[in-house]
Amino acid sequence: MRTFWRTLVVVTLLALLPPFAAQAAETRLWIVKPAPAGNLSDCPERAANAVQAGSADARPLTSEAVVSWQGGQVRLRGTAEVEDQERDLWDRCFALTVDGHVVISGAILVPHSARVLRFPVLQVPTWRSREQIPEFKLTPAFPADRSTLSLQEWRWRLSHLH
């Protein structure tokens, strides 16, 4: 009889616990309006603050996409039937979040931009067809060797992206 009660207690406790299957972290890309006159110099702080505050200046990317970097990539799920237009993405600020926490923020540029930025940059792709999923290239700066982030800090931030 004692075994029965122990088994019953164990089964009951297991039923009350959340499932042990790991849930995948959700990575999202947020597009944030830059400062007036298109100044991108404050993008890391501006984007992080706008996303954390739930500002109307921040909107999630609605298209499916891939963000890749040297040594890795993450696929982003689309959030709506309306797809983003390429021209609405460059010269904007961005924030990449994992489960709602900002991991990396910076500016979005076209790959042939003349700007020099010493913080993270997403290079916006050129869409070739509606069937092709756009792939953004994430770099620690633009050009990549101009970053103010240490290599260790950059790798630590990337380690959070899933």
Number of structural domains found in the chain:
1
Q: Is residue 3, in this structure, part of any structural domain at all?
A: no
Q: Is residue 18, in this structure, part of any structural domain at all?
A: no
Domain span at residue 70 reads 24-158
Q: Is residue 4, in this structure, part of any structural domain at all?
A: no
Mean pLDDT of the chain: 82
pLDDT at 9: 43
Peptide bond into 143 cis (omega under 30): yes
Does residue 128 carry a pLDDT above 70? no
Does residue 13 carry a pLDDT above 60? no
Q: Is residue 11, in this structure, part of any structural domain at all?
A: no
pLDDT at 122: 95
The answer for residues whose C-beta is within 8 angstroms of residue 76's C-beta and 6 or more apart is 27, 28, 29, 61, 64, 65, 66, 67
Q: Is residue 15, in this structure, part of any structural domain at all?
A: no
Q: Is residue 85, in this structure, part of any structural domain at all?
A: yes
Q: Which pLDDT band holds residue 11 (cuts at 50, 70, 90)?
A: very low
Q: Is residue 17, in this structure, part of any structural domain at all?
A: no
pLDDT at 19: 46
Q: Which of 31-35, 67-71, 78-82, 150-154 has the lowest mean pLDDT?
A: 78-82
Q: Is residue 14, in this structure, part of any structural domain at all?
A: no
Q: Which residue has the higher pLDDT, 14 or 66?
A: 66
